[in-house]
Amino acid sequence: MISVKRLEETFRRLSAIGAQAGGGITRLAFSDEDWEARNYIRELMEAAGLAVRVDAFGNLIARREGLNPAAPVVMLGSHIDSVPNGGNYDGVAGVLAAIEVVRCLEEAGQQTVHPIEVVVFMAEESSRFGMATLGSKAFCGKLSLAQLEQYTDKQGVTLAQAMRGRGLAPENIGHARYDQAIKVFLELHIEQGKVLETMGKQIGIVTGIAAPTRLKVIVTGQADHSGATPMNMRQDALAAAAEIILLVEKLAGQESHNGTVGTTGMAKVEPGVMNVIPGRVELGIDLRGISAASKRQVLGELTAGIAEVQARRGVDMEIITLTDEKPVEISREIVEFLQNIAEEYGYANMLLPSGAGHDAMHVAEMAPTGMVFVPCKGGISHNPAEWASIDDIAAGARILLGAVRKLAESMETDNLG
């Protein structure tokens, strides 16, 4: 039986690791705080009777053996790293709930035919190295040594250097690819939105996962004196960049009904002096959606619009694609399977897409995948005010437990793909 008290205690202890004096939690990937939290999670895994191993990227993989060790694995997981001054529920809920599920099976003395594994994916957040879901990408064989040497934090430390600092060998990154059969992967997560709370639902069954396309747009004009340069002789990089920012908002707004959103979350202006016309601007643009076609349309129109601004204003534009992920549609069979369990337990539930990306979106390329959402207060996430009810998290954990019992006890091949 899921222990609310035990879950509450593990959340409390983990919240102290990386806690900031002004509120919030900072556990950037591969930092001391991240590693301390990782060691605590490893202790919990071992206390739950799991055999823990570490892959070539540092992902923790904890196994509860099945009666048939060769049977496909029933897998649960999420992440524990955070954004700067983030909360203690994003990712953490999925990891602690997964460990609690295994502890319940151990306490009940319940053996399963299939092995069960709990995975803690490293570096899910993009906060340190500018790229998200790195651990699950490595897990799926989608991360190269060249990328490890390329991704750099604000202090100039490459991801490869950070790995070496933790005793990992970047040149072995190819060995991080998971090479066993997975029967199903399940991830519990806070919604990071306000739909469940607004609709009065305790559980959300995810139907699809939005994926980001992230661009760096570099606008190069001419830095000139703000007083001595007539308005019609300017090549103002910031004015051109402002048009692009508004274009992102306009195009995404037109496609929002199809689940596509757009954000310009970064603008670096040079030289950044009040009396100098900006000569260079670097924008960070995030397009994401649950429809690949809709996202492509926004991207195409944005690219055309950037070219038009470039020609009209006489500035140079460079578009660099940082990442271009594919949205994931979760199978109807898995959605119905999880929703039926929620109905069995009497939880008010609904179907909804995930606007945020998750590790599950990469694992979905390898195995049938499902996600369960629980509400977070006000829809707030990546923020010190991030909060979720422990009772809601326990409800989500009970659904995971029910799903694991059904999936791991039988050798039958379920039609979950």
Least confident among 5-9, 262-266, 290-294: 290-294
Confidence check: pLDDT of 113 > 80: yes
Confidence check: pLDDT of 217 > 60: yes
pLDDT band at 417 (very low <50, low <70, confident <90, very high): low
CB 290 within 8 A of CB 209: yes
> What pLDDT does residue 411 have?
52
Angle at 33 between CA 82 and CA 41, to 5 degrees: 80
Structural domains of the chain sorted by starting position, each given as residue range(s) with its CATH number in brackets: 4-209+327-408 (3.40.630.10), 211-324 (3.30.70.360)
Count of C-beta atoms within a 10 Å radius of residue 111: 12
> Which among 98, 85, 70, 82 has a CA at the least distance from the CA of 37?
82
Confidence check: pLDDT of 136 > 80: yes
User: With left for phi above 0 and alpha for psi between -120 and 50, is residue 49 left, alpha or beta?
Assistant: left
More confident residue, 177 or 212: 177
> What pLDDT does residue 62 have?
98
Cis-peptide, bond into residue 278, ω within 30° of zero: no
Beta bridge partners of 351: 205
User: With left for phi above 0 and alpha for psi between -120 and 50, is residue 127 left, alpha or beta?
Assistant: alpha
> Which among 62, 71, 125, 69 has a CA at the least distance from the CA of 96?
62
Maximum pairwise Cα distance, the chain: 81
Q: What is the mean pLDDT of the chain?
A: 95
Coil, helix or strand for 349?
strand
User: What's the average model confidence in pLDDT over 383-409?
Assistant: 96
> Which among 279, 375, 273, 290 has a CA at the least distance from the CA of 326?
290
pLDDT band at 398 (very low <50, low <70, confident <90, very high): very high
User: What's the average model confidence in pLDDT over 391-408?
Assistant: 97
Q: What percentage of the chain carries pLDDT values higher than 70?
A: 98
> Which among 404, 413, 416 has a CA at the least distance from the CA of 66?
404
> What pLDDT does residue 162 have?
98
> What pLDDT does residue 416 have?
62
Confidence check: pLDDT of 413 > 50: no
Q: What percentage of the chain carries pLDDT values higher than 90?
A: 91
What is the DSSP pairing of strand 203-209 with strand 261-270?
Answer: unpaired
Give 256's contacts (C-beta < 8 A, 6+ positions apart).
none
Confidence check: pLDDT of 350 > 70: yes
User: What's the average model confidence in pLDDT over 366-376?
Assistant: 97
**326 CB-side CA count, 13 A:** 8
Q: Which helix (H) or strand (E) holds 206?
A: strand 203-209
> What pLDDT does residue 157 have?
98
Summarised one tens digit per residue, pLDDT across range 5-22 is 999 999 999 999 999 998
CB 298 within 8 A of CB 244: no
Buried b (16+ CB within 10 A) or exposed e, 54-71: bbbbbbbbbbbebeeeeb
User: What's the average model confidence in pLDDT over 234-248?
Assistant: 98
C-alpha pair distances (Å), 175 with each of 71, 145, 160, 163: 21, 11, 15, 14
